[in-house]
Amino acid sequence: MSQAKLSLHDVWLKRRGSDILQVPHLDVFPGEVLAVIGPNGAGKTTLLMVLALLERPSEGEALFEGASVRGRELSLRRRMAVVFQEALLLRRSVLENVAMGLELRGVPRRQRRERALRWMERFGIAHLARRGPRNLSGGEAQRASLARAFALEPEVLLLDEPFGGLDQPTREALLEELAGVLAETGVTTVFVTHDRDEAARLGHRVAVLLGGRLRQVGPVADVFAAPVDEEVAAFVGVETMVPARAVGDAGGLARLEVAGQVIEAVVNGPLASDVLVCLRPEDVVLAPPDSIMTSSARNRLAGVVTRIVQAGAQARVTVDCGFPLVAVVTRQSLEELGLGVGDRVAASFKASAVHLIPRSQRSGER
Amino acid sequence: MDLIWDGIREAFRILGTGDYSIWEITLRSLFISGSAVAISLVIGIAVGSLLAFNEFPGRNLAFTLVNTGMGLPPVVVGLMVAIMLWRSGPLGQLDLIYTPLAMIIAQTVIATPIVTGFTAAALRSLSPRLRSQLYALGASRLQMLWLVLWEAKLPLLAAVMAGFGGAVSEIGASIMVGGNLAGETRVLTTAVVLEVSRGEFAPAIALSIVLLALIFAVNLILTTVQQQEQRS
């Protein structure tokens, strides 16, 4: 891979004696969108502040294009842009706010006006140019903040939960626009969020931060499909996790005993004898118990519905197959299946949908 | 009642003619208190920013000291400055006692904690993320400071008003370190005290009217600016 645009080496940040952030190594490559995900309080913002050269780590260092940033923070900050969760606009017109970074860089008035207006148009707020920041809606303010960042035409863009304070429709619309602009500009981006859907939508790679530690970094699909441990699995949306024992391995297809039943899983690599079987709810298909299997799913387990939680157009169904198995179905198919708590059902999933975590690697195991 | 009406009528006559050196005294008051406020703005904004932006041990104590300073009795300040500047005092060889400069020093000591306290409060009322955002936008330390001060300019205007009000209406320190010398260190407040002690109420009323008008004018200007800012 090419040289990293921005990287962290052995970064360790302590505050009042406790560790806030510990990152042995992290690279942000040119042109990629790296999504940093983790729950609240995981240290995501701190990580972003270190990357933005706004916070100096207690130990370790940040590198910009392979060279230490020390002593040239200001000039490097002027090659980056940051958007925080709050829009943080100053008490001056929206246009002046959007042009602020350019003003600080000494860009001539006409030029900065032109560039600011162009980006305001791109984000649909050109008509607000003369307004003060106090009579903007949350969405408009955040659009101004995004325009202010893009007007700098930065080499690196750092976004800290930019949609955190917005209502759902506004968030959706802005997410869509941002995705378009990121693809168009190809700017190297770090995008911090606690929302894995946002991460999956914008990110090329994803970094999972839990308890101040970087736990896994990789292409979005890989991390979501193959989390390294139980905690990462839980955070990236794996809802079924059960211990299993390997009983056979034939040509990349493992046979595993789970709660008295045997399932098959695709493995690429050596198979540990004790593993954790991970399944994402969207990979599980539910059907009537006596139906004929039509899909290519190799695993089919009979069970009883123990819980149904409906949210929006989807329903989360927990099936007891000797172990709790969670499936997501659309509301419509829930109605078609006529499922209720206590009903018998068949749950099937592909061997390739099963992800195995060797149990010796389980974090938190004592 | 005659005393009051005659006094007021006579006061307006004095204002018209400028007797009792009333305009000279007014200008001196403006100069001394204005200088004191200007100096205390420089010190107060610097110290207030340090207090607002930096975490250090003893920060709470520092805030308590500033708040105490905001209520510092002018008489005590006068005493301290007088001791320092007294001919046999530590700074006696500077020969500053009973000069306008001594009064500026005393009034600066009175106004500085006021400006410091207002500045720190104004800056602390801004979002703590704002500084990060400004740095992230490429601001140098000075640019950041200038922008946050500009952002907090309304409360800072309040600091100017409070500081000037405190300095110009103070009397104890001015008498002690200035001595109320005619043509040299006599200012509005000390002149009022002198005239009242002599039983000359008309000039005392005239001087008081000027003093009130001065404070009113300063506040009018600052309030107008504030309101225009708030509207925009």
Which of the listed residues A204, A231, A258 is the one where a domain comes to its end? A231
| Average pLDDT score over residue span A261-265 | 90
Q: Is there a single domain that holds both residue A159 and residue A34?
A: yes
Cβ atoms of B201 and B126 within 8 Å: the answer is no
B155-173: pLDDT as tens digits: 888 888 888 988 999 999 9
Q: Which residue has the higher pLDDT, B231 or B49?
A: B49
Q: Is there a single domain that holds both residue A314 and residue A189?
A: no
Scanning every residue of chain A, which has its alpha carbon at the shortest distance from the alpha carbon of B128?
A: A88
| Average pLDDT score over residue span A280-297 | 83
Which of the listed residues A203, A231, A259 is the one where a domain comes to its end? A231
Q: Is there a single domain that holds both residue A144 and residue A290?
A: no
Q: Is there a single domain that holds both residue A217 and residue A240?
A: no
Scanning every residue of chain B, which has its alpha carbon at the shortest distance from the alpha carbon of A135?
A: B232
| Average pLDDT score over residue span A131-158 | 94
Give the count of alpha carbons within 13 A of A346, CB side only. 14
Structure tokens at A339: 């499922």
pLDDT cut 90: percent of chain A above it: 64
Any domain includes A366: no
Residue A147 has pLDDT above 60, yes or no: yes
| Average pLDDT score over residue span A99-106 | 95
List own/partner pairs for B96-102 with CB under 8 A and 24 or more apart. B97/B177, B97/B179, B98/B177, B98/B178, B98/B179, B98/B181, B98/B184, B98/B185, B99/B178, B99/B184, B99/B185, B100/B28, B100/B31, B100/B32, B100/B178, B100/B184, B100/B185, B102/B177, B102/B178, B102/B185
Scanning every residue of chain A, which has its alpha carbon at the shortest distance from the alpha carbon of B229?
A: A91
Cβ atoms of A217 and A226 within 8 Å: the answer is no
Any domain includes A132: yes
Contact across the interface for B147 and A49, Cβ inside 8 Å: no
Q: Which of B129, B137, B151 sits opposite A101 (nearest CB)?
A: B137
Which residue from A208, A185, A158, A164 is spatially nearest to A43, judged by alpha carbons? A208
Alpha-carbon separation of residue A29 from A66, A116, A292, B148 (angstroms): 11, 27, 49, 34
Report how many domains make up chain A: 2
Residue B68 has pLDDT above 50, yes or no: yes
Three-state DSSP class for residue A216: strand
Q: Categorize the per-residue pLDDT at A361 as very low, low, confident or very high, splitting at 50, 70 and 90.
A: very low
Task: Tell me the average pLDDT of chain A.
Answer: 90
Which amino acid is it at B218? V
| Average pLDDT score over residue span B27-35 | 95
Q: Categorize the per-residue pLDDT at A312 as very low, low, confident or very high, splitting at 50, 70 and 90.
A: confident
List the domain range (segments joined by +) for residue A214.
6-231
Whether pTM exceeds 0.90: no
Mutate to test the interface with A, among B133, B226, B230 (most CBs of A within 10 A): B133
| Average pLDDT score over residue span A122-137 | 92
* Residue that the structure tokens 């107060």 belong to: B44
Q: Is there a single domain that holds both residue A123 and residue A257?
A: no
Q: Is there a single domain that holds both residue A150 and residue A33?
A: yes
pLDDT at position A126? 94
CA B69 to chain centre: 13
A54 at interface of B, judged by CB pairs closer than 8 A: yes
B3 at interface of A, judged by CB pairs closer than 8 A: no
Q: Is there a single domain that holds both residue A171 and residue A59?
A: yes
Structure tokens at B19: 């007797």
pLDDT at position B161? 87
Distance from CA of B126 to the nearest CA of A (A): 10
The strand pair at A253-258 and A59-64 is best described as unpaired
Which of the listed residues A185, A209, A231 is the one where a domain comes to its end? A231
pLDDT at position A1? 57
Scanning every residue of chain A, which has its alpha carbon at the shortest distance from the alpha carbon of B153?
A: A91
Helix axes B201-231, B22-53, angle to 10 degrees: 40
Q: Is there a single domain that holds both residue A167 and residue A61?
A: yes
What's B143's DSSP letter? Answer: H
pLDDT at position A360? 60
Any domain includes A88: yes
CA A175 to chain centre: 13
Residue A37 has pLDDT above 90, yes or no: yes
A130 at interface of B, judged by CB pairs closer than 8 A: no
pLDDT at position A217? 95
Q: Residue A262 is inside which H or E element, if any?
A: strand A261-266
Q: Is there a single domain that holds both residue A294 and residue A344?
A: yes
B132 at interface of A, judged by CB pairs closer than 8 A: yes
Q: Residue A76 is inside which H or E element, if any?
A: helix A73-77
Which amino acid is it at B133? Q
Any domain includes A1: no
CATH number at residue A140: 3.40.50.300
Cβ atoms of A220 and A199 within 8 Å: the answer is yes
| Average pLDDT score over residue span A148-171 | 93
Phi, psi dihedrals of residue A192, rounded to the nearest 5°? -95, 130
pLDDT at position B3? 81
Residues 306-365 of A with CB under 8 A from B: none
Three-state DSSP class for residue A206: strand
Cα dihedral across residues A93, A95, A96, A98: positive or negative = positive
pLDDT cut 70: percent of chain B above it: 99
List own/partner pairs for B73-76 with CB under 8 A and 24 or more apart. B73/B172, B74/B106, B74/B110, B74/B170, B74/B171, B74/B172, B74/B173, B75/B172, B75/B173, B75/B176
**Domains defined for chain B, CATH in brackets:** 2-231 (1.10.3720.10)
Contact across the interface for B139 and A104, Cβ inside 8 Å: yes
A45-87: pLDDT as tens digits: 999 999 999 999 999 999 999 999 999 999 999 999 999 999 9
Q: Is there a single domain that holds both residue A225 and residue A237?
A: no
A200-220: pLDDT as tens digits: 889 999 999 999 999 999 998
A7-18: pLDDT as tens digits: 999 999 998 888
A15 at interface of B, judged by CB pairs closer than 8 A: no
pLDDT at position B16? 87
